[in-house]
Structure 1
Amino acid sequence: MPGLRREELAQLAGVSVSYYARLEQGLGQNVSDAVLDSLARALRLDDTEHAHLVALARPNRSAPGGRARRTVRQLPAGLQRLMAMMGDVPVMAMSPTSDVLAWNPLARAVFGQQHWDGLPNMTRMIFLDPPTRALFVNWEVKARSVVSNLRMVAARFPSDGRVRALVGELLADSGEFAALWEDHSVANCDSFTNVLDHPQVGGLTLYQEVLRTEEPELMLVVFTVEPDSPSATALRLLGALAEEREDRRVAVS
């Protein structure tokens, strides 16, 4: 809470100033739920910020044994079938740090713009890839959202070298990322409205929803449009263009 002194916050949470100082220093591995709940109330945190506080206070509990997140090397067969059936909407399988593990042709047509070889990291592309930046009409809102989400991931996986490497790269290469990172905001971006200006089909508004799976390091990101809208027409056109490209690629191979 702005202007709240450490002594006042400790009093509101019902703990001593010295104990609160230890929590600030990350020395509160055995802090109780009651104390964390009291701190969250004193700071007027929302549910997402409360969860982030718990992850910061108990880093070794947010990832089992304090270990780094494991790599998903192959999508489960059921998930592959589901993605194959969702040909009319863009869909990606992603890691918590926004590594694209798989995407269907329509998602690649929307976000890949045919200039990537392989699978990208979307956070890196949003800050460091000019075509991706130009794609988002609401880039500033999108950028803040992904940085706030990455802060939550970094708290969940404090020992993960890949998370630290991604943050370090972006801090070094993007002043805008560095400024947003210093803001210390946290939020998940499970639901988000992407306003795009696609180079092939023009304006496109995609509603993003994240579907969690049984595998904690794997999620599906699905993008939908309003029925019978200009965005729906644009998406169908983009799907037809993607199908033509895929047919040409198969014919050549």
Structure 2
Amino acid sequence: MGSGGIQSDGRDTGRELGGFLRARRARVTPEDVGLPGGHRRRVRGLRREELAQLAGISVDYYVRLEQGRATQPSPEVLDALARALALDAAERTHLTTLTTLATAGRGPAPEARVSPLLRRVLDAVADGFPAFATDHRLDVVAWNALGAELLGGLADPPRRDRNNARYVFLDPASHDVHPDWADRAAEAVGQLRVAAARYPNDTELASLITELTARSAEFRRIWDSGEIVMCASGSKRLRHPATGVLTLDFESLHVPAAPGEPGLVVHVFGAEEGTEEAAALAGLAARPTAQKVSAPLRSW
């Protein structure tokens, strides 16, 4: 069970693990796990000794984990902590990723590339299905015309930043496009946190996080909460000036990466045939602005 480490970009890996554990511990109330609560407790959530007892580990070792002096717990300890903290699948994966940081020794994350086939697929589903693809930094690297129109003008760089996190936190127009803005903000932070743990030496990603931390108080607040929010499918609300608010189904499809390269996530929206939303998408697709083919991005 090794000690903490510093990545080449200066990040304290033990501190990140400890911060995540503290944030998750603060989320669990004594009542959640059958312990007495009360108004006189001086800590939010569980005490360290309570969590250690629930996980079946020594208090001293748990304290070392939170202080960053131990960063490589065994799989059994990780599983016990995940159960005690009631972590969901995304949070469990993130916890495991954090424990590999000290010894990972990974270089910068390679750039994901949009294959010609993926480009053709996005264009082929354009009829009624807005779609776009993002990399691990939340850069939108490909889209179809309807997706560009629905997501605030992706095909027009002066109109809309092509990094989804920068757009959400730094462009007031994102509040109009996303009626449930707080949910979209939490998703963006959660995805960046996962990416930062997976690619600790990615200087572009680190620069993006530094920029958002400096320029957005809301980003800082969500980041400091330690939340991990991953959304793979369901429904989302989007607003367009021509259609108003649309509640659309969506799926997040993971495109396998080439060996040694991170994959892309393709986000596809749609509506059940015969619904008002489906008619609205058809009308939007018929608009001249939605029929323009987007120019290729830089070489990915």
For Structure 1 versus Structure 2, the TM-score category normalised by the shorter chain is: 0.7 to 0.9
CA change 1:42–1:245 in 2 (3 A) is closer
Residues 1:226 and 1:121: Cα distance change in structure 2 (over 3 Å): same
Root-mean-square deviation (CA, aligned residues, Å) is 2.5
Q: TM-score, normalised by structure 1?
A: 0.85
Pair 1:140 & 2:167 matched: no
**Deviation of 1:145 (Å):** 2.4
Query: Where is the helix percentage greater, Structure 1 or Structure 2?
Result: 1
1:1-253 to 2 correspondences below 5 Å: 1-2=28-29, 3-59=45-101, 65-72=105-112, 74-88=113-127, 89-113=129-153, 115-117=156-158, 120-215=162-257, 216-242=262-288, 246=292
In 2, the alpha carbon distance for the partners of 1:68 and 1:76 equals 21
> How far off is 1:168 after superposition?
1.6
Give 1:9 deviation, angstroms.
Answer: 2.4
Query: Within 2, Cα distance between the matches of 1:7 and 1:150?
Result: 31
Verify the 8 A CA contact 1:90 1:107 in the aligned structure 2.
Answer: yes
- Kindly state the Cα deviation for residue 212 of structure 1 after the two structures are TM-superposed: 0.8
Q: Which sections of structure 1, spanning at least 5 residues, go unmatched? A: none
Cα deviation digits, residues 57-109 of structure 1 (max 9, x gap): 22257xx643332112x312332232222122111121022100111111111
Contact 2:133 2:264 in 1 (8 A): yes
Cα deviation, residue 188, structure 1: 0.6
- What TM-score, normalized to structure 2? 0.73
Distance 1:246 1:82 in 2: 16
Q: Which letter maps to 2:149?
A: A
Deviation at 1:38, TM superposition (A): 0.7
Whole-Å separation in 2 of the counterparts to 1:100 and 1:140 = 20
SS of structure 1 residue aligned to 2:237: strand
Distance between the aligned counterparts of 1:30 and 1:146, measured in 2?
Answer: 27
Alignment deviations for residues 156-212 of structure 1 (CA, whole Å, 9 cap, x no partner): 222222222222211221222222222211121222532122112222222221111
Task: Give the AA of the match of 1:105.
Answer: A
Identity of aligned residues (%): 38
Q: CA deviation at 1:222?
A: 0.9
Residues of 2 paired with 1:14 and 1:8: CA distance?
10
Q: CA deviation at 1:112?
A: 3.4
- How many residues get paired? 245
Moved more, 52-61 or 31-40: 52-61
SS at match of 1:181: helix
Q: Distance in 1 between matches of 2:242 and 2:139?
A: 25
Counterparts of 1:242 and 1:112, CA distance in 2: 15
Q: Which one-letter code corresponds to 2:110 in the other structure?
A: R
Contact 1:203 1:231 in 2 (8 A): no
In structure 2, what is the Cα distance between the partners aligned to 1:60 and 1:214? 27
* CA distance in structure 2 between the aligned counterparts of 1:10 and 1:112, rounded to whole angstroms: 47
Residues 134 and 265 of structure 2 are in contact (CA less than 8 Å); yes or no, is this contact kept in structure 1?
A: yes
Question: For each residue in 1:123-169, what CA deviation from the matched residue of structure 2 results, as whole angstroms up to 9, or x when unmatched?
Answer: 11111112222111111222222222322222222222222222221
Q: Tell me by how many angstroms 1:241 deviates.
A: 1.0
